[in-house]
Structure 1
């Protein structure tokens, strides 16, 4: 059974399959599948701003949302969730490794593709999975300046339970972007956008060197994926309520960061 699962996952991760999937979902014909998609994935209809104006299923997937539905938690030192999703795993890095799901450990240098990783040793991380029903735009978790941004090419394995349980080191193999930010107090944190099956693009809407305020939109996915937040050692204090398998919303407080 495990071999069968692996064969299925490898088959659907092929570039040809992904390209065909992307074209199909971006076609005008795919508009007919928006209503069935809403029913299948139980998308919250109250959050759909313009239900009749989407040109395709892909257009619907990257829909925006009324800002009043995702208030940004106030507080000078407050860090917010950058996305809607489920916390798959969380904790502190040890021995240059972090555990992201199913007890799979990942090398910090490999995952971040960033030279100066020593500051992240013993740092805190969160792995947040975005399901097909979630709002898929990504927002700034804390006001900071983008100091490094890198696109890392790779596979497009699905990041759901099937993919994670089947493919070893999946998050380090998948296509992704890694951005390192620095706060006014000099604290660094990384935001990793991990691509997946059907993610034709990982869009980043900022420039290196840009100062970005908390809550500002900084990118989006096209179809389900994962965001990993990773904080420099001794810079972040997580909320006590955070637990694995917890559903969170963009703008919700997830902890505090050192501001002096």
Structure 2
């Protein structure tokens, strides 16, 4: 975890934070979603070219390498990569990283408290929408929060073989989740809209959470499709069988979901079940498929 001392924001930074509270989050996100799904020909291709240049997107590793190959901005944003662009660590005792991005924070869950960023913590109960039984499974466990920037590959994959047991859609705010705002907006990840996915694994229960944000027009999973929009105002819970024809079994490295415009992934692991790779500290780049943790015997 990061132990850097908290530094009060400047006046300009305070204005940036205030804007997050004042701006029409839902309206901007709906507008972005509308545009991202439109087939606007030359305009769409121009926007993709500008976006690719501004954020230094590496299209060479994508299946489609030319901006004009994409009919919509969303198609570009959730672009699949070429085969073997992200090799999956094959060690059966190693979990792999679920997404490209950077480590926001990682480490020990202290009782029920997780570090959001320097100066801010939040609780398992609030993150998990007050599912107390689920929160209990991760007390004193391990966690990692991965921030996906606009330039990153935006499909999310499985760290290990797992069976889906529950999905919870949690309505909420749509604050931006970039590292600066994570340092200055309390309970950010527990306030934002999110999709909580609970899995059975060989080392116990694992949770993988897709966190929404401003301009994140939608999140999807491979078993349920697009979760939002429409955006429910109520918490929605879906439970799944562990066995039988309807059971959903996912393999290590398999795609499990995607962001249509980027955000954050949070993984939770039970106490004494895994040990996180030592290089995964705040700010460290992540590449899907590379080592995340070792399973403890």
Question: Quick check: TM above 0.5?
Answer: yes
Partner of 1:6: 17
Partner of 2:233: none
Cα gap change, 1:239/1:6 in structure 2, threshold over 3 Å: closer, same or farther?
A: closer
**Farther off after superposition, 150-159 or 26-35:** 26-35
Given the alignment, which residue of 130, 139, 151 partners 1:121? 139
Partner of 1:205: 222
Q: Post-superposition shift, 1:13?
A: 4.9
Q: Post-superposition shift, 1:161?
A: 3.0
CA distance in 1, matches of 2:276, 2:24: 35
Q: Post-superposition shift, 1:186?
A: 5.1
CA distance in 2, matches of 1:139, 1:103: 30
Q: Post-superposition shift, 1:175?
A: 0.4
Partner of 1:40: 54
Given the alignment, which residue of 110, 129, 137 partners 2:126? 110
CA distance in 1, matches of 2:121, 2:217: 27
Q: For 1:1-260, what aligned pairs fall within 5 Å after superposition? A: 1=11, 3-27=14-38, 28=40, 29-50=43-64, 51=66, 52-113=68-129, 114-116=131-133, 117-183=135-201, 185=202, 187-206=204-223, 208-209=240-241, 210-258=248-296
Cα gap change, 1:236/1:13 in structure 2, threshold over 3 Å: closer, same or farther?
A: farther
**What are structure 1's unaligned runs of at least 5 residues?**
none
Q: Post-superposition shift, 1:66?
A: 1.2
CA distance in 1, matches of 2:34, 2:91: 43
Note if contact 1:5-1:162 (Cα within 8 Å) is conserved in structure 2: no
Q: Post-superposition shift, 1:24?
A: 2.3
**Farther off after superposition, 153-162 or 133-142:** 153-162
Note if contact 1:157-1:197 (Cα within 8 Å) is conserved in structure 2: yes
**Farther off after superposition, 42-51 or 167-176:** 42-51
CA distance in 1, matches of 2:29, 2:252: 33
CA distance in 1, matches of 2:91, 2:184: 41
RMSD: 1.6
**Farther off after superposition, 96-105 or 70-79:** 96-105
Q: Post-superposition shift, 1:167?
A: 1.9
In the superposition, the TM-score normalised over structure 1's length comes to 0.93
Note if contact 2:203-2:295 (Cα within 8 Å) is conserved in structure 1: no
CA distance in 2, matches of 1:44, 1:3: 33
CA distance in 2, matches of 1:147, 1:69: 30
CA distance in 1, matches of 2:23, 2:288: 30
Q: Post-superposition shift, 1:256?
A: 1.3
**Farther off after superposition, 69-78 or 17-26:** 17-26
Q: Post-superposition shift, 1:53?
A: 1.7
**Regions of 4+ moved over 6 Å:** none
CA distance in 2, matches of 1:13, 1:93: 34
Deviations 1:44-74 (A, max 9, x none): 1321321232112222111111131101001
Note if contact 1:112-1:192 (Cα within 8 Å) is conserved in structure 2: no
Query: What SS class does the counterpart of residue 144 from structure 2 fall into?
Result: strand
